[in-house]
Amino acid sequence: MRVHYILNHGAAPESKLADVEIHFEEGILSGLKLVGCSVWRSKKGEGPAVLVPSRSYATAGGIRYYELLRSSEEGGTAEDARGKLAARNFRQYIRDEYLKIANLPQGEETRKGKTSAGR
C-alpha cells in the first residue's frame, strides 16, 4: 500500500492542504486506489485535520454523517472501541506523514504537487 498526497499549493479552497489517495500494490486490490481522504488546515490553530469519506443522511433532527472508514470486524460499527482506535491511528498516520512531506524542500516531486509515502 502506498499513500499519495496531492498538495494544494494555494488552490481553492485555501484551507485544504492536500488530497490523499491510498494506492494498493498487492493482492486482490492491486492496481486500485481509494480516494476521498483529505488534509485541512485546522480552524483552531492545531495540527492539520484529516477527513475521511462519509455519506450524509437526513433525520428528523437534521443532517447526520455516516463515516465510511469503520471496523472490519463482523457486526462491528463505527462506534466500536477497536474501530474508533483504528480510525484514530489511520488519521494520525496520515497527519504525521503529511507533516513530514510539508516540511521537505521544494524538490522535483513536490513541485509537481504529488508526493507519496509507503506503508
pLDDT per residue, tens digit, the chain (119 aa), is 899 999 988 788 889 999 999 999 999 999 999 999 999 998 887 789 999 998 899 999 899 888 888 777 766 555 678 888 888 899 999 999 999 988 877 654 444 456 666 65
Contacts of 106 (CB under 8 A, 6+ apart): none
Smallest CA-to-CA distance from 65 within 78, 55, 77, 51 is with 55
The answer to whether residue 91 is domain-embedded is: yes
Question: Other CB atoms closer than 10 Å to residue 103's CB: what's the count?
Answer: 7
**pLDDT given for residue 78 in this prediction:** 53
CA distances from 112 to 14, 38, 106, 109, 116 (A): 18, 18, 10, 6, 12
CB 84 within 8 A of CB 69: no
Residue 113 lies in a domain: no
Task: Find the DSSP H helices in the chain.
Answer: 81-102, 108-111
Where in the sequence is the domain holding 54, given as residue range(s)? 2-107
| 112: in domain | no
Total number of domains in the chain: 1
pTM metric for this prediction: 0.74
